[in-house]
């Protein structure tokens, strides 16, 4: 499916690739294009080093969906990787489980399970839980027709894509443990912050969160719902990294049919020796990209020229979208 059709038909389109290649620019201009073609669009940045606000030319308060000025039907959100931690109080503070001194737990054979759970608190759990909230949000009631993701450079994004699996594993284990330990496991009573919530309420919340995450996992893998657009530049290292990223997407079962080759020196421009030399280097790599990813793997290879100026704010993003989406 071509990018244009994806932006008109799918519920989610993700932009990803190596650092600095133009992911945010492609995501912002695609979101503007979709919004102007009648789709109520939300663009979400999952990159902790956000630049979505800079690209759109407006401040985006962390974690708050904000209407994009001057574009009807477009809302932008930079997720706050730490803000939601308090909601999950109890999860992060479970390491000193052995010290709880709950009588009878040893005999019940619970230690090994609790210890296993403690070891599942890897660094970055707060970020994982923030993603969980985003996944929960996209799976619950909202009015958006399309969600465009501006992702972080490859490695981080691959971790993000593996999160539904990881999170649902964690939550599944918490649920199992809670059911097993019942009232003994006092520290889990306040998994969600509000004290007035009863045990049953918080269990229900966890179960709901788990269902949302499982649905998100299925949606990310469904080509009629989501597709991943790989953005790259025509250079050797980018070709190698794109190959690895495509393999990972296949592993995660995430659809990809479009590859954007960005920042190509325009063909008919008058170029100095320096730029001509770079242009011929780019053309050599472009030919390989077209052969490997285009002909052999059957991807649409979208070529976008290097502009004279940087691409920021509405008029430039709109100009960019004319080259990206045709
Ligand atoms: N085709 C282009 N012509 C001119 N400038 C471009 C083009 N594409 C992107 N840029 C500029 O390159 C810079 C990097 O682009 P962008 O922020 O979209 O990359 P990114 O892949 O999102 O980077 P990061 O990995 O840091 O998130 C920006 O200043 C952007 O305006
Ligand atoms: Mg970016």
Residue 20 lies in a domain: yes
Residue 106 lies in a domain: no
Is pLDDT above 60 for 87? Answer: no
What is the CB neighbour count within 10 angstroms for residue 11? Answer: 15
Q: Best of 148, 157, 311 to mutate for ligand 1, by most ligand atoms within 8 A of CB?
A: 311
Name the DSSP letter for residue 22: S
Residue 109 lies in a domain: no
Share above pLDDT 90 across residues of the chain, in percent, rounded to a whole number: 56
Q: How far apart are CA 123 and CA 127, in angstroms?
A: 9
Q: How far apart are CA 262 and CA 249, in angstroms?
A: 20
Is 282 within 8 Å of 262 (Cβ atoms)? no
Query: What is the CATH number for 186?
Result: 3.40.50.300
Residue 173 lies in a domain: yes
Which pLDDT does position 171 carry in this prediction?
A: 77
Is pLDDT above 80 for 118? Answer: no
Instruction: Tell me how far the alpha carbon of residue 201 lies from the centroid of ligand 1, in angstroms.
Output: 45
Is pLDDT above 60 for 284? Answer: yes
Q: What confidence tens digit (pLDDT) does each residue in 304-313 have?
A: 999 999 999 9
Instruction: Tell me how far the alpha carbon of residue 50 lies from the centroid of ligand 2, in angstroms.
Output: 7
**Rounded mean pLDDT of 171-177?**
77
Looking at the structure of the chain, the number of domains it has is 1
Residue 78 lies in a domain: yes
Lowest-pLDDT range of 7-11, 140-144, 179-183, 273-277 = 179-183
Contacts 24+ apart (CB under 8 A), 56-65: 56/28, 56/313, 56/314, 56/317, 57/312, 57/313, 57/314
What is the CB neighbour count within 10 angstroms for residue 304? Answer: 22
Share above pLDDT 70 across residues of the chain, in percent, rounded to a whole number: 78
Is pLDDT above 50 for 228? Answer: yes
Q: Best of 24, 241, 262 to mutate for ligand 1, by most ligand atoms within 8 A of CB?
A: 24
Residue 21 lies in a domain: yes
Is pLDDT above 50 for 18? Answer: yes
Tell me the average pLDDT of the chain: 83
Residue 115 lies in a domain: no
Q: What is the pTM of this model?
A: 0.85
Residue 102 lies in a domain: no
Instruction: Tell me how far the alpha carbon of residue 76 lies from the centroid of ligand 2, in angstroms.
Output: 14
Domain housing 18 = 3-83+125-270+285-314
Which pLDDT does position 99 carry in this prediction?
A: 38
What is the CB neighbour count within 10 angstroms for residue 179? Answer: 10
Closest-CA residue, ligand 1 atom 8, reads 22
């Amino acid at each position: 499916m071509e990018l244009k059709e994806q932006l008109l038909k799918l519920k989610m389109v993700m932009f990803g690739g190596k650092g600095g290649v133009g992911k945010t620019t492609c995501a912002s201009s695609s979101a503007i294009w979709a919004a102007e073609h009648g789709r109520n669009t939300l663009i979400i940045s999952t990159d902790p080093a956000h630049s979505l606000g800079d690209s759109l030319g407006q401040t985006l308060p962390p974690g708050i969906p904000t209407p994009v000025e001057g574009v009807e039907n477009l809302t932008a959100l930079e997720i706050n990787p730490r803000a939601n931690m308090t909601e999950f109080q109890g999860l992060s503070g479970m390491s000193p489980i052995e010290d709880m001194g709950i009588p009878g737990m040893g005999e019940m054979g619970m230690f090994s399970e609790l210890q296993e759970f403690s070891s599942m608190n890897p660094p970055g759990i707060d970020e994982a839980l923030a993603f969980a909230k985003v996944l929960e949000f996209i799976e619950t009631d909202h009015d958006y027709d399309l969600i465009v993701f501006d992702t972080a450079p490859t490695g981080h994004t691959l971790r993000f894509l593996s999160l539904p699996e990881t999170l649902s594993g964690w939550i599944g284990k918490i649920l199992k443990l809670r059911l097993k330990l019942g009232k003994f496991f006092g520290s889990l009573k306040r998994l969600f912050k509000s004290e007035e919530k009863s045990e049953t309420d918080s269990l229900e919340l966890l179960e709901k969160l788990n269902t949302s995450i499982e649905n998100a996992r299925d949606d990310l893998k469904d080509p009629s719902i989501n597709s991943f657009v790989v953005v790259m530049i025509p250079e050797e290292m980018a070709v190698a990294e794109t190959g690895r990223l495509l393999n990972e997407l296949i592993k995660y079962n995430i659809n990809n049919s479009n590859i954007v080759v960005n920042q190509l020196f325009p063909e008919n421009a008058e170029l100095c020796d320096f730029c001509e030399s770079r242009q011929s280097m780019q053309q050599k790599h472009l030919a390989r990209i077209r052969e490997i990813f285009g002909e052999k793997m059957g991807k649409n290879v979208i070529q976008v020229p290097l502009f004279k100026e940087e691409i920021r704010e509405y008029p430039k993003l709109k100009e960019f979208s004319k080259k990206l989406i045709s």
